[in-house]
């Protein structure tokens, strides 16, 4: 089955600097890669996603890149702010044998922004 | 409105109790999910309902019993749970069940088994 590895597990950056979180996946049939942000005690919320027919996607300070050949995808946050502090999960999914698909999550990165 | 509503927010139950977690969405989504999340871990998929039919069961113990009464509601019936089942239980939904459909999570139900 699919396996998603995420690094680093913790990341501390100075406010205003950039943060990069990296993930690798094992199943070359995976075609959808969402990123979720989970603040302490709250629900995971989608912040950006990318599909396998696209190499890069940007939304204001957040960007995601995908390298299908290497089976890598990364989240880039620029000009970090205190409210960016949270746990970030990458994920991968593909069309399943049934009508439903499964999203497999990475292990998470705890991002802390230092003032 | 991308709202998935879960009740109760907190539940404490004994190992012999029977309780239920409830989930509701009015976005017209046709896929609904139950996830379990332990502290400092990612959400783990338990069940997927696709067009009100159970399509994925991730080998979940029978003490967890899902039910989808209609396209807006999803329940998780709990019976004879163990302390290690204590976790955050997240309900989620997506417009369709296939890959590429955004999954929206509810706030979760914090379950403690004593």
Buried b (16+ CB within 10 A) or exposed e, A45-58: eebbbbebeeeeee
> Is the CB of A34 less than 8 angstroms away from the CB of B104?
no
Per-residue pLDDT of chain A (115 residues; tens, 9 = 90+): 789 999 999 999 999 999 999 999 999 989 999 999 999 999 999 999 999 888 999 999 999 999 999 999 999 999 999 999 999 999 999 876 556 778 899 999 999 999 9
Does the beta-carbon distance from A31 to B107 stay under 8 Å?
Answer: no
Closest CA to A76 of A93, A60, A96: A60
How many helices (DSSP H) and strands (DSSP E) are in chain A? Answer: 0, 11
pLDDT at A52: 87
Q: How far is A59 from chain B (nearest CA, A)?
A: 16
For A30, the token pair is 């995976």
Model pLDDT, residue A92: 94
- What is the predicted pLDDT for the residue at B99? 81
What is the pLDDT at residue A54?
Answer: 86
Summarised one tens digit per residue, pLDDT across range B54-108 is 999 999 999 999 999 999 999 999 999 999 999 999 999 999 888 888 899 999 9
Say if CB A57 and CB A32 are below 8 A apart: no
Cα dihedral B62, B63, B69, B70 in deg (nearest 10) = -70
Q: Which of B41, B45, B106 sits opposite A102 (nearest CB)?
A: B45
Q: pLDDT category, B46, cuts 50, 70, 90? A: very high
- Omega before residue A8 within 30° of 0, cis: yes
Percentage of residues of chain B with pLDDT beyond 70: 98
Closest residue to B99, CB basis, from A32, A105, A108: A32
Phi-psi region of B51 (alpha: psi -120 to 50; beta: other; left: phi over 0): left
| pLDDT at A99 (0 to 100) | 64
φ, ψ dihedrals at B85, nearest 5° = -80, -5
Which chain B residue's Cα is nearest to A29? B99
| C-alpha separations of B108 from A84, B15, B79, B98 in Å | 21, 21, 19, 23
User: What is the reported pLDDT for B21?
Assistant: 98
Q: Is B95 on the interface with A (CB under 8 A)?
A: no
Q: What is the pLDDT of residue B98?
A: 83
What is the Cα–Cα distance from B42 to B36, expressed in whole angstroms? 9
Q: Are A51 and A114 in contact (CB under 8 A)?
A: no
Task: Say what the pLDDT of residue B1 is.
Answer: 54
Write out the H or E segment, with its range, that includes residue A89: strand A86-94
- Give the angle subtended at the CA of A85 by the CAs of A57 and A70, to the nearest 5°: 40
Distance of CA B71 to the CA centre of its chain: 14
Please, which residues 7-66 of chain B have a Cβ atom closer than 8 Å to chain A? 31, 40-45, 48, 50-51, 55-56
Nearest CA in chain B to A86: B40
pLDDT surpassing 90 at residue B18: yes
The mean pLDDT value for B13-17 works out to 93
Question: Looking at CA atoms only, how far is residue A99 from chain B in angstroms?
Answer: 6
Quick one: how far is CA A7 from the chain centroid? 10
């Amino acid at each position: 089955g699919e396996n998603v590895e995420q690094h680093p597990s913790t990341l501390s950056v100075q406010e205003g600097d950039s943060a990069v979180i990296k993930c690798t996946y094992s199943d070359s049939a995976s075609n959808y890669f969402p990123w979720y942000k989970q603040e302490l005690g709250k629900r995971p919320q989608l912040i950006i996603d990318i599909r396998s027919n696209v190499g890069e996607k940007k939304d204001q300070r957040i960007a995601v890149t995908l390298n299908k050949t290497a089976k890598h995808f990364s989240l880039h946050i620029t000009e970090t702010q205190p409210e960016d502090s949270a746990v970030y999960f990458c994920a991968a999914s593909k069309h399943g044998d049934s009508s439903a698909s499964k999203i497999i999550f990475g292990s998470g990165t705890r991002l802390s922004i230092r003032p | 409105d991308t709202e998935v509503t879960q009740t109760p927010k907190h539940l404490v139950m004994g190992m012999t109790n029977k309780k239920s977690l409830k989930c509701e969405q009015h976005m017209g989504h046709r896929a609904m999910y139950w996830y379990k999340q332990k502290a400092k871990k990612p959400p783990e998929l338990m069940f997927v309902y696709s067009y009100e039919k159970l399509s994925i069961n991730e080998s979940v113990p029978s003490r967890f019993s899902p039910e989808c009464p209609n396209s807006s509601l999803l329940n998780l019936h709990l019976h004879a749970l163990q302390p290690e089942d204590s976790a955050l239980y997240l309900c989620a939904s997506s417009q369709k069940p296939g890959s590429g459909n955004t999954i929206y999570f509810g706030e979760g139900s914090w379950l403690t088994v004593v």
